[in-house]
Amino acid sequence: MRGESKEEKAKEKELERQTYSLPVGPQHPMYIEAENLNVYLDGETIVDVDVNVGYLHRGIEELMQRRNYLQNIFVAERICGICSGIHSMTYCQCVENLLGIDIPERAKYIRTLVLELERLHSHFLFLGVVGYEIGMDTVFMYVWKDREHVMDMLEQVSGNRVNYAMPTMGGVRRDIPNHIIPSMLEKLNHLEKRTEYYRKLFLRDRTIIARSRGVGILPKKDVERLSIVGPVARASGVRIDVRMDFPYLKYGDLDWKVIVEKGEDSQARVMVKVLEIFQSISILRQCLKKLPSLDREIKTKVPLAIPKTEAIAIMEAPRGELVYYAMSNGTDRPERMRIRTPSFVNIIYSLPIMLKEQQLADLPIIVASIDPCFSCTDRMTLIDTKSGERKTVDETYLKRLGERRSR
């Protein structure tokens, strides 16, 4: 009897060695929003994952119902710092739909331009994060250095780096003067050259391929079943892009194409974004070329109180389809605001499918590859299904694990 228990003890010890006992180290600057994943493990293999969001819930929809339409532009802008432009513009579009008005041609071009600049900076940010997560800090530094050129352009155009405050109801707040156009074109040329380099890098580098090809598969049928949107869906071979499907602003008149990849894995998701950068640069060039020939009017007058009605606006954010719904009640405050953001769908539904049967060391790259708009993943709880033990690890540990795998 005693011998057996000794054996059992040894077994338990063995198991204990397999589980992870690490210091609780919550935050990480990589993911910007706090969020908690419960990862169930069998040894090193992921069995299941629980996503626990809500750390950043601020009650924005309720807040918007207490502010007037003009104040709400700035609240909408502050939903997300990375997608700030698209949020405020979709909101403005929604209010314009409530009123049934159209905005001047020049304002449309300026809005398109700012949106594409934002897509550029968001995609560059993403590429840097991917480099960082597979343990290649050089890639991260390179990409973020180039991202600064995009930030410079945004600052030239709007005066701000993150919350641009460009749109307003009925138009835009600032004009783009002609004299900054040549310098912007120059920067775009530089960015195009750099992106070509990244395209080769992410397509050919042996380490990157080993870490991302075939990792985190998201089958096409699941994408369709769970209505996953944006670049994540496009990387699984689903042709879905609001800019093409329901053209808004100037996208219908410009020359560009939707990028679709068939890979279904992390590498495909990265490639979609790299190729979209080229498309964005081309759209930007077309906008800049058109701007000087347009009428200088950038704003139409709008009334502050809106009669009772309802409206919806859909746009393509850098991460997928963004929907705003508004209901007015005759005053200057909305009766109801509803926002559906792309990341929510992508994170909640796709993570459990992609992470199943994967290695723990691949978790950061898989999570990063859907470009989650939760940053600062606070920490994860690992549950070993054999011993039922709960251990908590931090991102540093995961990153170290990932780095070891890259070598």
Partner 1 sequence: MFRRIGDKIVCYARRKSPWILHFDTGGCNGCAIETFAVLTPRYDIERFGGLSKANPRHSDILIISGAVTKKIESRLRRVYEQTPEPKAVIAVGSCAISKGVFHDAYNISGPLDRIMPVDVYVPGCPPKPEAILQGLLKALDVWRERYKI
**What is the contact surface with partner 1 in residues (CB under 8 A)?**
23-29, 32-34, 54-60, 62-63, 66, 74-75, 77-82, 84, 125, 140-141, 144-145, 147-148, 151, 161-163, 373, 375-376, 378, 394-396, 399
Can you give 171-192 as a three-state secondary structure string? Answer: EECCCCCHHHHHHHHHHHHHHH
| CB 33, min distance to partner 1, A | 6
| CB 32, min distance to partner 1, A | 4
Which one of partner 1, ligand SF4, none is in contact with 388 (Cβ closer than 5 to 8 A by kind)? none
| CB 84, min distance to ligand SF4, A | 8
Which one of partner 1, ligand SF4, none is in contact with 82 (Cβ closer than 5 to 8 A by kind)? partner 1
149 close to 187: Cβ distance less than 8 angstroms:
yes
Instruction: Give the CA angle between residues 353, 357, 362 to the nearest 5°.
Output: 90
Q: Name every residue whose Cβ is closer than 8 Å to that of residue 189 and which is 6 or more positions away in sequence.
A: none
- CB under 8 Å, gap of 24 or more: what pairs does 183-188 form? 183/156, 184/153, 184/156, 184/157, 184/284, 184/288, 185/285, 185/288, 187/149, 187/150, 187/152, 187/153, 188/281, 188/284, 188/285
Footprint on this chain of ligand SF4 (rule: CB under 6 A): 78, 81, 162-163
Token pair of 297 as six digits? 């009017």
Closer of 49 and 79 to partner 1 (Cβ): 79
Q: How far apart are CA 23 and CA 30, in angstroms?
A: 19
Closer of 125 and 130 to ligand SF4 (Cβ): 125
Closer of 81 and 237 to ligand SF4 (Cβ): 81
Angle between helices 181-204 and 137-158 in degrees, nearest 10: 160
Which one of ligand SF4, partner 1, none is in contact with 375 (Cβ closer than 5 to 8 A by kind)? partner 1
Closer of 162 and 244 to ligand SF4 (Cβ): 162
| CB 300, min distance to partner 1, A | 26
Q: How far apart are CA 138 and CA 133, in angstroms?
A: 11
Which one of ligand SF4, partner 1, none is in contact with 75 (Cβ closer than 5 to 8 A by kind)? partner 1
Closer of 122 and 286 to ligand SF4 (Cβ): 122
Phi, psi of 293 (to 5 degrees): -85, 0
| CB 362, min distance to ligand SF4, A | 31
Closer of 243 and 379 to partner 1 (Cβ): 379
| CB 211, min distance to partner 1, A | 20
